[in-house]
Structure 1
Amino acid sequence: PELPPSGTQARVADLEHAPAVALFARRAQAARPSFRLTPDNVSAVAAVCRRLDGLPLAIELAAARVRVLAPDQLLRRMARPLDVLGMTAVDVPARQRTLRDTIAWSHDLLAPDEQTLFRRLSVFAGSWTLDGAEAVAAIDGETAIDAIEALAGLIDQSLVTTRPATEAGETCYSMLETIREFAVEQLAASGEIVPAERAFESFLIRLAERAESGLRGPDQLQWLDRLEQEHDNIRAALGRVLDRGDGRAALSLAPRLWEFWRARGYAAEGHTWLAQALTLGQISDTERLAAGAFAAGKLAIDVGEYATAERQFQISSRLWHERGDTRAHAEALGALAIVKLNIGAIDEAQRLLEDALEISRGIEDARGTASTLLNLGMLAREDGQSDRAIALLAESLSLWRQLDDPKWIALSTLNLGSAYHLAGRGDAAQRLLNESEELYSHIGDRYHLAVVALNRGHLERDAGKRDRARRLYADALRHFEPVGSIEGVIESIEWIAVTLANTEPVDALHLFAATAAARRARNLMTLETDARVFAASLAAATDAAALHAPQALHAGAAMTLEDARERAMAAASSPERPRARADR
């Protein structure tokens, strides 16, 4: 039957009328006539049904347990449903006395090759495609199982289900979790678990190698979607290789995924995986260590850990230089320059970027040249050189359009739009920001959608539309939060405070003081162009709050970042009031 809705917003009435919950209630009443669905137990019943994948037999077996267990107790015991669910009734076939018996009966009807593939497919934590099934169909050089025929048999026995084809036209397959649990047991008993896991990991490494190349071209959206589809499998593989201390395998997989993790909002998770992988790397394996350090540095920037990013890019730059990989060395220098820019070391950033540009142009690396021009344009923009920034960013954008790379086109239009805004050319800025937003929406990059929202908010603020600016800053905050960008959250709150400085000065002072404390605690600097606006708005709010200013600043400094976030979001949802007049 249809599963009940999930999430905290699911209403009791919706849960009660879900077919799976209704089935549970009927069978529970048959086992214990006094059982009733109540607001206190319906959520637990729904969770049990979801844990059992909506399987009617499994739900009936679970409901029979209410003779001795309340729904909450049953849910807590559902970590391994196959061990929990059974019945002692004599009016059902023996094969249906327990869930394990039912699955085992279907399993025993399989041909030998089908049984082999069934257990090996349990290494997939999520869905898989035909090429994934073929990867585990032959291990240790044995004769390959015909994966297509074996899958057909598994589907006929309802042990494997199919999902709609992807945009690339590939059919996806999966197992219900209760069935996968049985398959895992069969794999462990077969003695094949180690070679099956190695085949699974090798498949994902090969996929990541292809994706790494695909993410640097016009097909990057398809590759992002493919990696999203495989993400649960990737997590499972990384967990296994790290558990057994296999640094070579971990560094063959994780560094190739940083662009996916960044684009799809998993920067914090990816940063954690990479940090663990790097601790297992062998000193002699310089290529993988260099790639891992570079990837870790990229994601460290996103989570606001600039000291970590600087250290990783220095390691990466040195190792690539020692290996004689000029292109990768220049790329690491450019990344290090961005860290220097964010910590206020403008002169060092300029020197590093000039070195990187000379290298990239010397080896005729179009991508390296385009990315370095972009970084030089960002540097000129932050240094107040609007005309130079626009020229550099426009040149970079032209190159990226020639290379037909959507991600870099989006980043270039975003930064060029920001430069036009600072130069007072709002119409040109809006056009470029709209293009960037459309591209990032297709890519699914929430971090950069947040940055676009900030910049669009600046345009509205400049036009005197503080309410609209505040809502855009709140949109940015909502994008930054799930991707783990603490610095982005802080900056969004600061810009909301700017819009409150004249009309709600006490609230603005609360937010300015709270974000200043959060920056100090995390050693985060403010870009000079932003710092000037914040300082002016802080002064205006202090003047408007008059005698209330010291108390407001003291109270704000004691607020947690979460408190400041709640205060900022509340302000963003409220209409603007007339300009405040404080007592003096």
Structure 2
Amino acid sequence: MARGCRSTHWGLLALRHRRLADALGYFGESLAIFTRRDDRRWRALLLSNLAETRYELGDLAEAVPLLEQALAVQRAIDDRGQEGNSLFFLSMTLRELGRTGEALAAIEAALAIAEDGSPVWLAHWLVEYARVQRALGRPDAALEAAHRAATIQRRLGDRSREAMALDETGATYRGLGRPEESVAFHRRAAAVHRQLGDGWQLALALDHLATALAESGQVEEANRCWHEASMILARFPDPRAGRLRARVTPA
């Protein structure tokens, strides 16, 4: 048990610091240990962790069956919190695959769990709900969800996740054709991620900020933000980071 927990811990640290190949190795080792021990709860958790890592790598087709396996176990043992988290990751993956209706069903099921559970879950998963609503062309619903997520996170004191909610709020304002308001929210999100030293989230926020700046006619500042994002993304060797860097780096 100790070895499996230790590998899971190292896997989570690797995932947090975006050392995704290392995370796959640690989680795979833990999964093998807990499968041999027939520990269904830990096995499902590790399947979900592996799926999250696959999602971050951009291996979306590989993430879906891992999450489906995790969900089957979590429902069988009534692990509601982890079921909701797996549904959250499933929504993210399905949305990026273009299966937006299925993503909506997944995130709505997660939110139903959160409403009866923890405000920490609710606030975090609401941001994905906002993204799905935006993908479905429902910006008003997206804006309401993003504002609600930011408000709860502010009350909880989670500055990182509040910044993610602010960033999504900015994206929704941009979709509504209000780039100046979008700029303000993306600036706030980028400032918090910079203070917290979260390079990956800072790069994402800078890309979003640059897009909003360009749309509002502030091209010079937009290019500076894209340049900074490109420099940050060079630290990360994974395919998703590489694709994003190729997009934000001038030809």
Common fold: TM-score over 0.5:
yes
Select 1:523's aligned residue among 225, 237, 243: 237
Verify the 8 A CA contact 1:304 1:486 in the aligned structure 2. Answer: no
Match of 2:75 in 1: 361
User: How far 1:336 moved relative to its partner?
Assistant: 1.2
Verify the 8 A CA contact 2:11 2:23 in the aligned structure 1. Answer: yes
Distance across 2 between alignment mates of 1:395 and 1:324: 27
User: How far 1:525 moved relative to its partner?
Assistant: 4.3
User: How far 1:493 moved relative to its partner?
Assistant: 1.3
* C-alpha RMSD of the superposition: 2.5
Verify the 8 A CA contact 2:150 2:163 in the aligned structure 1. Answer: no
Verify the 8 A CA contact 2:202 2:229 in the aligned structure 1. Answer: no
Identical positions, percent: 22
| 1:381-401 alpha-carbon deviations (Å, 9 max, x no partner) | 121222111111001111222
Distance across 1 between alignment mates of 2:23 and 2:151: 29
Q: 1:494 to 1:379 in 2, by over 3 A?
A: same
Distance across 2 between alignment mates of 1:499 and 1:520: 23
Verify the 8 A CA contact 1:341 1:349 in the aligned structure 2. Answer: yes
Distance across 2 between alignment mates of 1:395 and 1:295: 28
Select 1:348's aligned residue among 53, 59, 62: 62
Q: Does 1:475 align with 2:188?
A: yes
What are the within-5 Å matches in structure 2 for residues 45-444 of structure 1? 287-402=1-116, 404-444=117-157
Distance across 1 between alignment mates of 2:54 and 2:114: 24
Q: 1:333 to 1:479 in 2, by over 3 A?
A: same
Distance across 1 between alignment mates of 2:101 and 2:68: 18
Q: 1:350 to 1:527 in 2, by over 3 A?
A: farther
User: How far 1:484 moved relative to its partner?
Assistant: 3.0
Q: Which letter does structure 2 place at the counterpart of 1:319?
A: I
Distance across 2 between alignment mates of 1:458 and 1:321: 41
Q: 1:527 to 1:514 in 2, by over 3 A?
A: closer
Q: Does 1:464 align with 2:196?
A: no
Select 2:158's aligned residue among 425, 445, 460: 445
Distance across 1 between alignment mates of 2:127 and 2:213: 26
Q: Which letter does structure 1 place at the counterpart of 2:135?
A: L
> What is the TM-score with the length of structure 2 in the denominator?
0.88
Distance across 2 between alignment mates of 1:525 and 1:516: 14
Q: Which letter does structure 2 place at the counterpart of 1:346?
A: L
Distance across 1 between alignment mates of 2:181 and 2:89: 30
Secondary structure of 2:142 counterpart: helix
Secondary structure of 1:414 counterpart: helix
User: How far 1:300 moved relative to its partner?
Assistant: 3.3
Distance across 2 between alignment mates of 1:500 and 1:370: 36
Verify the 8 A CA contact 1:327 1:368 in the aligned structure 2. Answer: no
Larger radius of gyration: 1
Q: Which letter does structure 2 place at the counterpart of 1:377?
A: S
Q: 1:347 to 1:382 in 2, by over 3 A?
A: same
Match of 2:203 in 1: 490
Distance across 2 between alignment mates of 1:360 and 1:375: 14
Gaps of 5+ in 1: 1-286, 539-551, 555-584
Verify the 8 A CA contact 1:370 1:396 in the aligned structure 2. Answer: yes
Q: 1:319 to 1:442 in 2, by over 3 A?
A: farther
Verify the 8 A CA contact 1:293 1:313 in the aligned structure 2. Answer: yes
Secondary structure of 2:78 counterpart: coil
Verify the 8 A CA contact 1:409 1:436 in the aligned structure 2. Answer: yes
Q: 1:346 to 1:361 in 2, by over 3 A?
A: same
- Give the number of equivalent residue pairs: 249
Q: Which letter does structure 1 place at the counterpart of 2:33?
A: L
Distance across 2 between alignment mates of 1:443 and 1:320: 33
Q: 1:389 to 1:418 in 2, by over 3 A?
A: same
Secondary structure of 1:364 counterpart: coil
| 1:104-148 alpha-carbon deviations (Å, 9 max, x no partner) | xxxxxxxxxxxxxxxxxxxxxxxxxxxxxxxxxxxxxxxxxxxxx
Distance across 2 between alignment mates of 1:524 and 1:456: 27
Distance across 2 between alignment mates of 1:312 and 1:339: 11
